[in-house]
Amino acid sequence: MSERSEPELTLADLGESEILARIFPRLPESSATLVGPGDDSAVMKAPDGRFVITTDMMIQGPDFRLEWSSGHDLGVKAAATNLADVAAMGARPTGMVVSIAAPATTSVTFMEDIADGLRDACLELAPGCGVVGGDLSVSTVLTLSVTAFGDLGGREPLLRSTAQVGDVIAVVGRLGLAGMGLAALFAGERAKARASALQAQLAPLPPISQGVIGALAGAHAAMDISDSLVMDAGRIARASNVVLNLDEHVIDDLSGQLAIELGIDAARARQAILFAGEDHALLMTFPASVTLPEGFLAIGFVDACEEGESPHVALGGTSISENGWNPYAGWNGETS
């Protein structure tokens, strides 16, 4: 006769203190911590005298689906999306606070898996960054909220408003993969999708360390590409009152490479390169005299607005509509 397995523990079976006692040992420590978890607040070093701070939420439904994502995936993505915003300011990530609201029926193992994902993302993407605190609550919908901190190391922050006419537009990280992964999931074609596209969507590993590298190389402006290349380039254009002119030949080359990698037609790949979101690549502008750091790809130039012309994004000199990821409507792989 086979032995009956014991039912898995849920959050309702344990108190908050016991849950935290299981989670915190799994999380990485921050090298900037003076007082860590256990008090009403953490205390962190601020050697630069300034903090970069960003926050982001992931809500079951609009941001992720449990039939697609494991707990580990969610932990990785929650960390990566926030770390990318810190990196886009030219800062080194130093710490995070994480709040999770979950149904009482959620298994403790699932929560531990989220913690493991947070840990692995920090170790892979931002060594020295750790979780210094957070909160747990109950909700009918699983929600993760992360606030991340970063150290500028004495440098000025990279802003959206500081691109200059004549700058080279450069990107580091992949474009289009996450959007194609999402399109495959929505289409019910997970089994056919390439592993690289699924990972880019479910558990992204963006080039976090390149934020500081770009800043040290002399970047003028930067931002994380979370909503689409064109949409986020448009934000830099408006903030800096310039035109971001993308090189059509480079975009075509990237589209061709993505098409071959994913086994799709080049037109579909081009749509993803330009208009898909959630890749969390870094978009930066550099003085034309700067040698781009390794890994960065020049994709265009910053031009001045003509008289009477509004800031915008152009492709090969022609204005292009700024479509991309919309949290209220999503992205279905089209440019509508």
Binding residues: 40, 54-56, 63, 85, 134-135, 160, 224, 226-227, 278, 325
Binding-site annotation: residue ranges for ATP: 134-135, 160, 226
Q: Is residue 323 exposed (0-12), middle (13-18) or buried (19+ Cβ within 10 Å)?
A: buried
Q: Virtual CA dihedral for 87, 281, 241, 305, nearest 10 degrees? A: 150
Binding-site annotation: residue ranges for substrate: 63, 278, 325
For residues 299 and 313, what is the distance between their CA atoms, to the nearest angstrom? 12
Q: Which of 80, 89, 314 is nearest to 223 (CA)?
A: 89
For residues 88 and 215, what is the distance between their CA atoms, to the nearest angstrom? 9
Binding-site annotation: residue ranges for Mg(2+): 40, 54-56, 85, 135, 224, 227
Strand order of the β-sheet with 143-151 is 52-59, 143-151, 92-102, 130-138
Which residues are paired to 330 by β-bridges?
326
For residues 196 and 267, what is the distance between their CA atoms, to the nearest angstrom? 19
Q: How far from chain centre, in Å, is Cα 284?
A: 15
Provide the pairing of β-strand 318-319 with 312-315: antiparallel
